A and B are shown apart, each in its own frame.
With several copies, the nearest count.
Chain A
Amino acid sequence: MNYVGFVNQELKKALKDKKGVIVFGQNVGTGSCVSGLSRGIEKETGCRVLNTQNSENTLVGAGFGMMRNGVSSIYIMKQLDFLLLGIDQLVNTYNYIRVFKPSASFTILAVVVDNGYQGMQSSLNNLADFCSIARIPGYAITNRRDAEKIIGAHLVSPGFRIIGLSQRLFGRELIDFEQVISCEADGGWLQYTDGADVTIACFNFSIPQGRGLIEALKDKGKEASLFSINSSSPVEWSPIIANACQTGAIVVIDDIKSVNSPSVDLVARARGEEKIRTITHITRDFSSLDWLRPNADELVLNNKNIIHQALK
């Protein structure tokens, strides 16, 4: 099963008993239904699916308006960058609504267009900035385990949040892990492997890179603890730090294009621990404007160098 197929299935599962939930957005009920993301929701769940005009500002505001009147909704966005048009509502309306501790749910489910080649204007992957500006909960979904956890816990629960999906992963075979060793209650992070040599923390949509690094480590006979950091804001890092104190090495991978990112906070925390001998913070290269060109847009790791630095 591929990523989008699985997410679609999890959405339908989570919405099964949620009569009265409104699913809305551009093309959610026509054509490919946002590349299959919203396919079958109306038929199989009894939610109302409303196809809408192209007016992101108004659509975000409408989600909050429904929330204010006790109706839960999900706004599915074809591209996260379209949400730039709705930030006034994200910030100002949310700051009002949250004071009243709403009982309804409003979720923006946005596809992060990170599959490259769209050009500079449709390749924004900065989920963290949208969340930072109004202290909004945000979660990135990268694999079977975090999809289950995050959709299950957040899709329709009181309050507001943004859930980001990776366009790059859409058609790919779903990433899965044998087990979840531990996780934050809210799905802020999940741990999939436990190894004695290195701790790997993958931010935003960089779990494929983390998996690749694990394979490279295995080739050298080394075992790693792998964490996905799904929250777009800093969370309680203690268990990850504790793990890194045991391995003595932490590799923080972050593929986001923002200037400020929660991964800096984890690094700051790790720097305060004497037991962590090496801290490797992998981010994208912004030394030239090349990141604005149409390209594969994927953070490429030099695993050899990373391993060398982490284990030195």
Chain B
Amino acid sequence: MKKMNVSEMSEKAANDLLMVRLGQLVVNERYKNGDFKVPIHLALGHEAIAVAVSQTMEPEDQLVLSHRNIHYNLARSGSVKEEIDEYLLKPEGAGGGWLGSMNLSRKSEGVAYTSSILGNNLPVASGMALANKTREKESVVIVVTGDGAMEEGAFYESLTFMKTFGLRVIVIVEDNGWSLASRIHERRCEIDLNQLAKAFGIRHDTMEGNDIARYIETLRDIREWTMDKNEPVIVHVLLTTLGHWTMKTEDYPEGKFINYHAGPAKTVNIGDGPVIENSEADPVFVLKSRLDETEFDKLVKNQLQNLSGELP
């Protein structure tokens, strides 16, 4: 793989990706330290799509999130401190101490609504896009859901609604293959999103590989398309939530795979550096392998300096 230098791949993208990763690692350290009363769903491994979405958004665009939202909130605001202050329920937090973790939104940063209830944000995003249409706003609503939430009827109903009214919505399906501790095949049949989209005549794209530069390019193309066509788009993003561990139990003497769902990621330590897994599943590993090592290290160092005040 050809190495790029930072300016080739967009310094902002690289920096934001590292900020979202390192910001989460800082939150994780504070979490392990017992600093938070609110339950937090970290999104380690989800950084590439979040940063790409954020960088694709134009000023009037709006983002609608779910319970796992830290990556988008960090990408939008750039402020790890305000995120942590919100988790500490301080008035100076990103939500004024009113929203905590699972409902954290921030209209000023383009995060218009965040729901802790599976599927709940899709109808709301539909209504927001309809409002934009009637007010002739030049903007897109981007709503984030997952392979668990798409099991709710609201997903299907909202696709119908968005297509019917010709709404500019990008539906991001973050597919990490898990809902709580259940893998997809442990809870349901496969639902082929591409085929499902075809049933409505909705455009469907798949993104995987965590290449931030390519993600931004693809999403910008999709945004242009939805603006042009007045049509919704489904973007199926295959990703891995990092932070799993193995637990030895009576039944599993060799150790049982425990996926990360919420709470502190106990096996992840900021001292080990920003890369969690040496594979394509880790967007930071992908970034590192694209960049010259010195450059990568310099970016990391800068970010860590900014964040040092937030560590426990």
Does B301 have its Cβ within 8 Å of any Cβ on chain A? Answer: no
Could you tell me the distance in whole angstroms from the C-beta of A74 to the nearest C-beta in chain B? 13
Query: In the complex, which range does the number of interface residues on chain B fall in?
Result: 35 or more
Closest to A50 in B: B165
Q: Is the interface of B mostly helix, strand, loop or mixed?
A: mixed
A64 touches B100 (CB 8 A): no
A62 touches B161 (CB 8 A): yes
Provide the A55-66 mask, 1 if CB < 8 A to any CB of B, else 0: 111111111111
A53 touches B160 (CB 8 A): yes
Closest to B183 in A: A30
Q: How far is the CA of A135 from the CA of B52 in the complex (A)?
A: 39
8 A-B residue pairings within 8 Å (CB atoms):
A31-B258, A55-B157, A58-B158, A62-B124, A69-B135, A85-B152, A118-B39, A122-B102
Does B309 have its Cβ within 8 Å of any Cβ on chain A? Answer: no
Query: In the complex, which range does the number of interface residues on chain A fall in?
Result: 35 or more
Contacts known (A52-B187, A69-B112, A294-B100); A92 close to B153, Cβ less than 8 A? no
- Segment 127-178 of B: residues with Cβ below 8 Å from A: 127-132, 134-135, 148-149, 151-154, 157-158, 160-161, 164-165
Could you tell me the distance in whole angstroms from the C-beta of B186 to the nearest C-beta in chain A? 5
Does B209 have its Cβ within 8 Å of any Cβ on chain A? Answer: no
Contacts known (A32-B181, A92-B120); A55 close to B161, Cβ less than 8 A? yes
Could you tell me the distance in whole angstroms from the C-beta of A304 to the nearest C-beta in chain B? 27
Of B112, B119, B120, the residue contacting A121 (CB under 8 A) is B120
B131 touches A121 (CB 8 A): no
Q: How far is the CA of A62 from the CA of B103 in the complex (A)?
A: 18
Of B107, B127, B181, the residue contacting A65 (CB under 8 A) is B127
Q: Which residues of B contact A96 (CB under 8 A)?
A: 103, 113, 115
Closest to B126 in A: A62
Does B182 have its Cβ within 8 Å of any Cβ on chain A? Answer: yes
Q: Which residues of A contact B128 (CB under 8 A)?
A: 65-66, 68-69
Contacts known (A52-B187, A53-B151, A118-B39); A63 close to B181, Cβ less than 8 A? no
A118 touches B102 (CB 8 A): yes
Does A174 have its Cβ within 8 Å of any Cβ on chain B? Answer: no
By Cβ-Cβ distance, the 3 closest A-B pairs, closest first, are A31-B181, A65-B127, A61-B123
Q: Which residues of A contact B230 (CB under 8 A)?
A: none
B125 touches A58 (CB 8 A): no
B180 touches A68 (CB 8 A): no
Further 7 A-B residue pairs, CB within 8 A, beyond A62-B126, A85-B152, A93-B124: A26-B182, A55-B161, A58-B161, A78-B180, A85-B119, A118-B100, A294-B37
Does B89 have its Cβ within 8 Å of any Cβ on chain A? Answer: yes
- Segment 82-132 of B: residues with Cβ below 8 Å from A: 89, 97-103, 107, 112-113, 115-120, 122-132
B120 touches A54 (CB 8 A): no
Does A204 have its Cβ within 8 Å of any Cβ on chain B? Answer: no
Does A117 have its Cβ within 8 Å of any Cβ on chain B? Answer: yes
A54 touches B179 (CB 8 A): yes
Closest to A20 in B: B134
A53 touches B157 (CB 8 A): yes
B115 touches A92 (CB 8 A): yes
Contacts known (A121-B103, A121-B117, A122-B117); A63 close to B188, Cβ less than 8 A? no
Q: How far is the CA of A125 from the CA of B134 in the complex (A)?
A: 34
Does A70 have its Cβ within 8 Å of any Cβ on chain B? Answer: yes
- Segment 176-220 of B: residues with Cβ below 8 Å from A: 179-183, 186-188
Q: Which residues of A contact B157 (CB under 8 A)?
A: 53, 55, 57-58
Contacts known (A68-B113, A92-B117, A294-B99); A62 close to B188, Cβ less than 8 A? no
Contacts known (A22-B134, A52-B187, A66-B128); A116 close to B37, Cβ less than 8 A? yes
A65 touches B131 (CB 8 A): yes
Q: Which residues of A contact B126 (CB under 8 A)?
A: 58, 61-62, 65
Does B38 have its Cβ within 8 Å of any Cβ on chain A? Answer: yes
Could you tell me the distance in whole angstroms from the C-beta of B235 to the nearest C-beta in chain A? 20
Q: How far is the CA of A92 from the CA of B123 in the complex (A)?
A: 12
